[in-house]
Amino acid sequence: MTANEMLRAPAEVKYAEELDWLESVDDGPKPFSWRLSPRMVRLFILGSERSDGLDREIPQKWFGDRSFVERSIVTLASDRGLLLIGDPGTGKSWLAELLAAAVCRNSTLVVQGTAGTTEDHIKYSWNVSMVIAKGQSRESMIPSPIMTAMERGMIGRFEELTRSTSDVQDALISILSEKYVSIPELDTDNTVFAKPGFSIIATANSRDRGVNDLSSALKRRFNFVRIPVVTSRTAEAEIVRFRTTELLRRHRIELDVPPTLLDILLQSFADLRAATASAASEDEKLESALSTAEQIGVLEDAILHSHFFGDRTLRAETLAGALVGSLARRAPEDLAILNKYWHGVVEPRSKQDGGEWTGFLEGGRQAISTLS
């Protein structure tokens, strides 16, 4: 199946041609069974520079500090577990996907941590009909994505590790330290050993602290890389622009995003973050994390609405409606906060600066009135 036939293609499919080319010109040392050398993994994720001396440009795919990517790559090369931790929307999962795609060309061996995740999701389960017909055997066993990664010497991913219960988390301890899984139900062929190249990339939301804290034993088996919230206006603009370009390409939409509207979106989120930081109580804070990912979601909603229900031109009114609709999750608390922002910040700015802020003011007012 090609990338065009998938709603969301994994990174190794989406960038298959680029990865093939990088592999063909890569003459650097590769740990274990890695498809690319650490240098090329970094280049694939962060993009190429003129000093790299390549015959083609490799675009940047993850926007953040170079040291975070390098530390992540070094951790995987040492066969230790890697834990990416940070606030929602900081790109932890996207970085994990890119790392797995570059290292082993498979980012889909994923366990999603939830309250319902069990040890079977980490180790193995059984095909009940085959067990009834032929008994328990390796053929009737259903390996988890983590066990499959062990058998193939690949990267297994565990999303939202702290959302799963402590006993499920602890099932990872022996896998990370001993690198094998025992299958006591079988008399023979009852141990799965990890092949060289196997490792685990886990992600954790720093806002989930206290939900299911990691044990000290499990923490010792992970190298922690903390991904901070993007605070640079320039970097955040690059991320939003990059994701928006992908969106337009995927939906085959020809629509320009005026730089002035992107500036308004960035400024609005910066204002709302500042208001949240200075709020005296939780009731005065938006429920939204106001992350970069949520900015992208707001812009995506506005673009699609303009394409399907507008005149295929992105307007400030549509952007304001998308922002209010995305951030007003609690009624009446979030609506009251947004109404205060529109009257106290957007309205004075509209009078002072005019331009697109005028349409943004009217669009926001209408959206708040409709939802109130």
Spatial separation of the C-alpha atoms in residues 231 and 251, rounded to whole Å: 29
Mean of the per-residue pLDDT values for the chain? Answer: 90
Mean pLDDT confidence for 184-197: 92
- pLDDT at position 238 over 60: yes
- pLDDT at position 183 over 70: yes
Query: 39-66 as b/e, with b when 16 or more CB fall inside 10 Å?
Result: bbbbbbbbebeeeeeeeeebebbbbbee
pLDDT digits (tens, 9 = 90+) for 314-370: 999 999 999 999 999 887 889 999 999 999 999 999 999 889 999 999 999 999 999
Share of the chain above pLDDT 90, in %: 59
Query: 95-119 as b/e, with b when 16 or more CB fall inside 10 Å?
Result: bbbbbbbbbbbbbebbbebeeebeb
pLDDT digits (tens, 9 = 90+) for 73-101: 999 999 789 999 988 878 899 999 999 99
Closest residue by Cα to residue 253 from 306, 318, 322: 306
Mean pLDDT confidence for 240-259: 82
User: Which region, left, alpha or beta, applies to residue 205 given φ > 0 means left and ψ of -120 to 50 means alpha?
Assistant: beta
Closest residue by Cα to residue 119 from 75, 183, 65, 66: 183
pLDDT digits (tens, 9 = 90+) for 130-148: 999 989 999 999 999 999 9
| Cβ count within 10 A of residue 153 | 16
Is the separation of the CB atoms in 114 and 164 below 8 Å? yes
H/E run at residue 202: strand 199-205
Q: Which pLDDT score is estimated for 69? A: 95
SS3 sequence, 203-218? EEEHHHCCCCCCCHHH
Is the separation of the CB atoms in 204 and 162 below 8 Å? yes
Closest residue by Cα to residue 77 from 210, 196, 239: 196
Q: Which pLDDT score is estimated for 212? A: 62
Is the separation of the CB atoms in 292 and 335 below 8 Å? no
The band of 2, judged by pLDDT with boundaries at 50, 70 and 90, is low
CA 284 to chain centre: 28
Q: Which pLDDT score is estimated for 37? A: 96
0.95 exceeded by the pTM? no
The band of 180, judged by pLDDT with boundaries at 50, 70 and 90, is very high
Q: Which pLDDT score is estimated for 162? A: 87
For 221, residues 6+ apart whose C-beta sits below 8 A from its C-beta are 80, 81, 172, 173, 176, 177
Q: Which pLDDT score is estimated for 280? A: 79
Spatial separation of the C-alpha atoms in residues 170 and 174, rounded to whole Å: 8
pLDDT digits (tens, 9 = 90+) for 194-236: 999 999 999 998 766 545 678 888 888 999 999 887 777 888 8
